[in-house]
Structure formats: C-alpha cells, structure tokens
Structure 1
C-alpha cells in the first residue's frame, strides 16, 4: 500500500501529465496544499520533494513551487563488442542537442591524477564538452576528457566535426600517436550534486541526483592514456548499457 506522501505525489503527477497543472504554473502554497489533501505540512513537503526529484516541479526560493516546462531527455549509451570499435554516445531522445567543446592545457588535479595514475601536477590536455538544447538554459551534462600532454606529438586540436563527449576523436588521436587500446573501464555512480555542479547544470530541486561517470582508456601496455569525467543531471538523463552475448 503506498504511503500517504506517495499517493499525494501520484495525484499531482497525474494532474501535471493531464495538463490540469500546466508547464510554468505556480502550485498553491504548501500550507494550502496540505489543507487541501488533509495532511501534515511535512508529509506535503515529502510529496513535493518526490516530484522535484523526478524533475516535474521546481522550487524557486522565495516564490514557491512551479511545474517545470518540458525538457529533452539525454540518453547515455554504451554499446560495444569485444574486439570491435567501441561506440559510446550521449544522444537526445526527443530533441536534438548541441555540443560546445573547448580545449586547453592544465595541471592534473588530485582526482584526475588518481584516475590517470600520474603524479598530481602532470601536464594534461583537457577537453571540456557542454551538451545543451538551444531552447533550454542549462546543459544536460558536462564532460571533461584528458590526455597526457607529453604523450601527444602535436598541438591539441578541436574535433573537425560536431562531437559527443564520448566520440572517438580522442581515440583516433591516440591511435595516430601509436597507442593501441586494450580496454575501456567505466564506473557509474548516482549521487547528490556538488554546489558547483548544481549551479552549472541548473539543478534547483532538492533531491535531484546526478549520474557521474568515470571512463578510463587503457592501452596494451597497461597505461591509462585517456580519462573522462561526465556529470549528467539525473532528472534529464538515463543510462542504457548493452552487452552483446557471444555464443560459446
């Protein structure tokens, strides 16, 4: 049997989906809703918190709760065949996304150094990607990818075509430099956003998690030659991982 706050959230959810509560509409005050549903204020706030976590409403400090406008959903997919070329992408399910990418040289921070198994301060090439729908104010995800500068023979270049954060243009650079990949390791974690991540991704609802992804590309000599850190807003992203089954 659903708990009281779950039942209230379900009723409000149906009203949002039916259009009875339109996008951009301000919900009644929490005290008014609590009286309407004959429940306590803490229970009402739990119901609203559930809808915030789902991305259906947003809380604007000093103003109240509002129904969120429609946002496009981004899908993180990882489909690869052992021995074949990896195809990993961030794609929009219901609307096209644009990618803005920049490149610079940085000194490895401790977290990146640990991921790449190099001393902190090692010179790296950093690619920063922002995936965003033109009509939406905040990006769906932020991605930072790293290469070890001294291993790359030429000046870092931006990709010639519009990339996704998981495009193969970095792997092509590694291949051109003579590195052969042995495997790609990925770690996915759902966690609360940091203050900086919430600001960059436009996360305003309490309870909205982020999907954090770490990727390491390891060559045939056991070196981590590329690493990526991706953070996706949990209310606008889903992960899909397909693993081929090989008959034995």
Structure 2
C-alpha cells in the first residue's frame, strides 16, 4: 500500500502503479508465478479505478512480467531483461521495492565547483538538489549536475524521473552509468525530514552518466538513509 503522487512533477497514475509493481517483482516481493489479487481488489489497494489498473497491467504484460490466463487471473512472470522508467534507480526499501518520488529543493545554474570530476564540455552546469522518497518515506538526498551544453532544465517542467525528462524535453537519453558506493557525510543542505543529520555518516553513491557521446554528461552524488533503504544492483 502506498499513497499515490498527484503533483505536476509526478508520473501519470497508471505509470506510478506499473512502476511500483515492476519494482516489487524485481525485488522478489512479488514472486515468479504468484497470482495477483482480483483486479477490483488490486485497484482498491492502489486507490485507482479498474480502468487505470488495467493500463498499468498492460505495461507489465508488454514487458513480459505478467501473464493473463482467461478464467484464472493474472500471474507474475520474472523477466530480468525488462526495463522500466526507474530501472537505473538502485535504491530500494530494506524490505524491497518502493515507488520513487522526489521533492526538488533547488534548481539553478552554476560554474562547476572544483571538487567535481570531469564531465561534459561546458564549465557550467545545472545543479539540482532534491529529497527522494520511497513509498513516501524520505530515503535519500541527491545533488545532480547536468552539463550546460546538454540543455537547460526548466524547473516548471522537470519531473520525478530526470532520465525521462531528459529524453522527452531535452532530446537525449542516458545509455549507461557508473556507480561508486561508499559512505559519506550528510550535506548541510539536507532538509530536516531526512533522517541522517548534517555531518552524520551514511550511505553514499557517486554516479557518472553517459548519453550517446563518449564523455559523461551528468554527475550526481546521493546520500541515503541506511535505516530505511539500501543500494541494490542485480546482475542479469
């Protein structure tokens, strides 16, 4: 059970439900071969109409994650190759899964500070700071830098899924990323609702992301609350 997100930045409701189910399948919380509850019951659980739920299930079916058996029901099918909007978001709840959402704290353009690794072709970049949630639990804070030559981020249009925003609004898509996982000190700009306080050690991820060009265009650093979430990488 989760509370759906209705903010302008959120994914469409049917996509939120499908993403949540996909992450539940990937984490094993919905096991291969499991029969889903009847559609009316599942729709009520996710606070959507049956029509909306069927749009969500159609996405799973197209990805090979659901089999509909006439007169029997809907059955989960494992498909490690299935991709989704949040396939590259590696943080999950400790119990697995969780729908990612975000609250932006700041979006502004700056000269890249000297402590960032080399990425992009411009000396400037858009810095985005946000609080990330999993099923509405504050799980991480992120600082994301997009190279200025890759486009201008519009704060009024940017969405929960940045990679989706890049593809739909800026005309490029992230093809691969490298993650470096360690521990780090929570930044002083982290909001009070994030569990670890400023200066406290917690889980830490640095990521470089590439589009179709040979050099990375984005750098991000993420601090995640290890009492709520964990970093997961599944080998396919």
**TM-score of the superposed pair, with normalisation by structure 2:** 0.49
Between Structure 1 and Structure 2, the one with more helix by share is: 1
**TM-score of the superposed pair, with normalisation by structure 1:** 0.47
